[in-house]
Every structure is written in C-alpha cells, then in structure tokens.
Chains A and B, each alone.
Chain A
Amino acid sequence: MAVQALSAAAAANNPLTKATAQPLAGGTTLIDLMKLDVMRPAAVIDINPLARGWSAIEPGSDALRLGALAKMSDVAAHAEIERNYPVIANSLKLAASAQLRNMATLGGNVMQRTRCSYFRDVSYENCNKRNPGSGCAAMDGVNRMHAVLGTSDRCIATYPGDFAQALIALDAMVEITGQAGTRSMPFAQLHKPPGDAPDIETTLQPGELISAFAVPGRWPRSVYLKARDRQSYEFALSSAAVALDVQDGTIRDARVALGGVATVPWRAREAEALLKGQKFDDGLAQRVADAAFADARGRRHNSFKIALGKRVMTRALQQAVTMEIRS
C-alpha cells in the first residue's frame, strides 16, 4: 500500500492517515474482502456520518456534481441523470444487484478492488497486488476474466467497475478531501495501471477521501453497453461507454471508454480521434474498434475479449448514433 508519512500532528487528528485504517462507506467491497482475509485493516472508520454533506446529486445547467456518498441506486434513478447522462445512469443500473446498489456509494464504487480470483483467494501466495513481489498466479492460470489492455508482466487483473468508464469518458473531475483541504484532479489520474507496482492502485494518499465527482457538459446522446456471462447481476466481460455530439450527421465530439477488458478505467483516445469530424458508418466503426484494441494482448483463456470488445464497442457506437434524444 502506498504510504506517505504525514506530520505527527496531522495524523493524530485523522485516523485515516494510518495506512492500516480503512474508510467504511457501503461496505460491499471492504466487508467482503475482510471476510476473505484479503484486506486486514487495523481499524475501520465509518464515514457514513459525513453523508449529509457528501451525498448530494446536483445537476446544473451545464454540469453535474455527484457527492461521493450518494448511493448507486439513487443516482441511477435520478430523472435528470437518466435524461442528460444516460451513460452514467445505465453504468450504475447495469451494475451489481438492487440490494448492493442501495448500499454501495459512488466513491466506494470507483475504489472497488479487482475480482481476480487469485487476488481474492489467499490460498494462492502468488499475487503481486495482494503480496507484492510474490508473482502472478493468473498469468498462466485460469485467466478468462482477465485484462487484455493496460497489463504488465506483474499483473493482468481487470478493473471490475462500470461507473468509472462513464466518468473517464466524460472527462470527469474527482474532488478529494484530506487534512489540507480539498483538491480536484481529472478522474483519469485516480487509477494507476499495474506497471511494476500492482499493489498501488490509486493516487489517493493516506487520510484522503473522495468527496465528489464533477462532470462537465451534458451528454444526452450517450450509451453504456455491457456484455456478460449472465443477463443481470454480473461483472462485464466487455463494456463500452460512448458519448457523442452529432450534428447534421457529422460526429463533432466523441468519447469512448472500455470496461471489463483493461486493468484500469480505460479511455480509448485513438478511437475518439478517428471518429471526430466523420460521418458514421459500419466501416468507420470497424476501423475505430480495431484502433482501440491495437495494443491488446490476450492470454490463454481471454483472447476472445479482443473480438468481443470490438463488437461491444461497435454496437455501442451504433446505438449512440441512432438513439432518440428526448429534448
């Protein structure tokens, strides 16, 4: 775990500055992983008393602000978010179950840990994420669910969330609150690809909490498409968050992010560059999908995700182009 020493005076006031302390919001990841012995915090700090100030859902005229302790279910069902940010509403609706969406918060959602079966099973010693330097059991193990983009030779664990794909596609900012006050940075800078240190998953420092997300603009022409082994209540094998600005048949702006296939929330900027200024057709969709997966690397069981990911992305683009916009 990343540890940055804070001054003793600051640490005395904030138990979360202890690297061994974990904040508890909805608990749907933390309590699960504590039972599995994967996470072994010395202290758990219930941050739900902060919810009154941190759970607001605030759609503005040309931006959206979401408190980090807002529940997934409340955001998913919000009429203005359904209308102006369908990619956000659907990324939340298609995730988890009704019970879990009632518990889980937005901040916790983006911080959820990988579902890699070797990470979750402590009987496997080899997990660079859980046990740094120990190796990776997934490399030559059962890796059907693992990532094909953003991997390293240390880790191929998939980032499991859906909401993060919508945030990264829409250029969201994340607001972070700690002892020194509040800072804001692009959501794209929150997660770290595994590289040489898969155990360090985010740029959050001890004592810092996500307090809100801010999404600029409005994206009524946006889609979240998710392919999975079950029709409902399952993590993505492949997903695509697409937001378009189309005028007179020409794509003025395009945002594409991919889920289920990468180690971190994945922005497909090559795809966006190819889409901008173009008129949409099936040939373009194919070229765009090929570009997005050009650097993908499959392993024994997960190479199918490259073909599946392209198809999901192509279909999401088609849906976004043809969807009816309610004005």
Chain B
Amino acid sequence: MSDKSSSRPSGFDRRTFIAGAAGSALVPITARAAAQDASASGAKDAALPVDVTLRVNGKDMRLHIDARTTVLDALREHLRLTGSKKGCDHGQCGACTVLIDDRRVVSCLTLALAAEGQEITTIEGLATDDHLHPMQQAFIDNDAFQCGYCTPGQIVSAVACVKEGHAGSEADIREYMSGNICRCAAYPNIVAAVKQAAPEIMKG
C-alpha cells in the first residue's frame, strides 16, 4: 500500500506514523528491566532516570526522575508541592486532581513524561497574591469539608466544573463532581460552595 492510498481526511498517513514511532515525536518510556527489549530507536535503559521539564503554576521545573513517575509523585515527592493529595493512587477518588492545559485530570494516572510541554495548575496555583480563589473562599464559607484530605482535589475539580458549564444546577454539580469522593460525606456543603463560587468565576 502506498503512502498516498492510506491517507485519510484527518491528515494522517503512514509516513507520519513511522516517523512518529521511530523518531523523537514519540517518547519511548521503558518501564522495567527492559534493556533486552528496548531496541526501539530512542529507547533508554529503564534503570536510568530521565530529564523532564514540567511547567507547574507558571514556572518551569527541571526534574531528573524515574521514567515511570506520575505527575502526582513528581509534584509531591520531587517539587514539594504536597497540596495535591494521594488518596487511592488508581484514579478512583479524585484527591489528586490537577488542571493540565485547563482541563481537570487525575495526576496519579498521568505520567510526568507525557505532561511535558503542558501547563499544570495545582491547588497551590489557584490563589493570587494574598487573595484566595473564589472557590477556595466558598469552601471556607460553606464549611465544605471535615477532615480536608479530599479538599484540594475537590476545589481544583470544582473550578473546572464551573468553567465547563456544568454548575448550572445542583443535579449537574453532583453529577459532574462525582469523580471526587469525600469520605466525610460533606457533599451538601460542597454543592453549596460550588453554587456560591460559580457566578463569580464565570464573571472572570
């Protein structure tokens, strides 16, 4: 099959694939004891740390870390940004929620290598100078937590929930905040906090 015949309206063709797969466009990450299998060009010895630059809260942070390191571990263990919490470490609880390029994701299932070149915003990056973000203030005003462990994830997630346009009703807030579990079950107050902050956030 020629390159031409395999091209598609989306602009992809076989040439792109091979170039991507073998060249620097792809990031080969060797996962474990893989030297014998790492024949892909560009693949590195799994045992060696890799250089990664993460852009966190507007600053470039250079790291020398194991290729398997998640964004969550990079933040907490290497950058000392411990606001994002490790709850389940399997993408089920939402305590580790951060924004990547303004979209909420769970940082425990995001590899740091795969987040290079993107803007990461953590709970530490929401406040400006001495002013809390409206969502942070709303959580205080509404007593939207008890133990507080899930709170950074709840707040970051709630900011995105509002900006996505999913805070129009209590039912919407509950549905679109379902990825953030609160073991203390402060849900009614969390919903109230999101409702309070939403108009101010949408106003900009």
Query: Chain A: residues with CB nearer than 8 A to chain B?
Result: 12-16, 18, 20-21, 24, 27-28, 31-32, 34-36, 40-50, 52-54, 56, 58, 65, 67, 73, 96-100, 102-103, 175, 177, 179-182, 211-212, 230-233
B132 within 8 A of A: no
Known contacts A99-B94, A100-B179, A182-B6: does B32 contact A42 (CB below 8 Å)? yes
Q: Is the CB of B110 within 8 A of A103?
A: yes
Residues of B within 8 A of A98 (CB): 104, 157, 160-161, 164, 166, 176-179
Residues of A within 8 A of B29 (CB): 24, 43-46
Residues of B within 8 A of A56 (CB): 9-10
Q: Which 9 A-B pairs have the closest CB atoms?
A: A97-B179, A15-B40, A181-B1, A53-B12, A232-B178, A42-B34, A42-B37, A181-B6, A233-B178
Residues of B within 8 A of A65 (CB): 9-10
B60 within 8 A of A: no
B155 within 8 A of A: no
Q: Is the CB of B22 within 8 A of A13?
A: yes
Q: Is the CB of B178 within 8 A of A53?
A: no
- What would be 8 A-B contacts, judged by CB atoms less than 8 Å apart? A20-B37, A31-B108, A53-B12, A98-B160, A99-B94, A181-B5, A182-B8, A233-B178
B70 within 8 A of A: yes
- Count, A-B residue pairs, CB within 8 A: 170
Contacting chain A: which of B13-21, B121-129, B141-149, B195-203?
Answer: B13-21
Which residues of chain B in 1-60 are interfacial with respect to chain A, using CB atoms and an 8 Å cutoff? 1, 5-6, 8-12, 14, 16-18, 20-22, 25-34, 37-40, 43, 46
Residues of B within 8 A of A97 (CB): 94, 178-180
Interface residues of B, count at CB 8 A: 60
A102 to B163, CA, bound (A): 14
Q: Is the CB of B110 within 8 A of A211?
A: no
Q: Is the CB of A50 within 8 A of B160?
A: no
Known contacts A43-B38, A99-B97: does B21 contact A14 (CB below 8 Å)? yes
Q: Is the CB of B31 within 8 A of A45?
A: no
Residues of A within 8 A of B76 (CB): none
Q: Is the CB of B26 within 8 A of A47?
A: yes
Q: Is the CB of A99 within 8 A of B5?
A: no
B63 within 8 A of A: no
Question: Nearest Cβ in chain B — how far from A38, in angstroms?
Answer: 11
B78 within 8 A of A: no
A211 to B13, CA, bound (A): 11
Closest chain B residue to A120, Cβ basis? B90
Q: Is the CB of A100 within 8 A of B160?
A: no
Question: Nearest Cβ in chain A — how far from B147, in angstroms?
Answer: 21
Question: Nearest Cβ in chain B — how far from A94, in angstroms?
Answer: 9
A16 to B12, CA, bound (A): 18
Residues of B within 8 A of A182 (CB): 1, 6, 8, 14
Question: Nearest Cβ in chain B — how far from A220, in angstroms?
Answer: 23
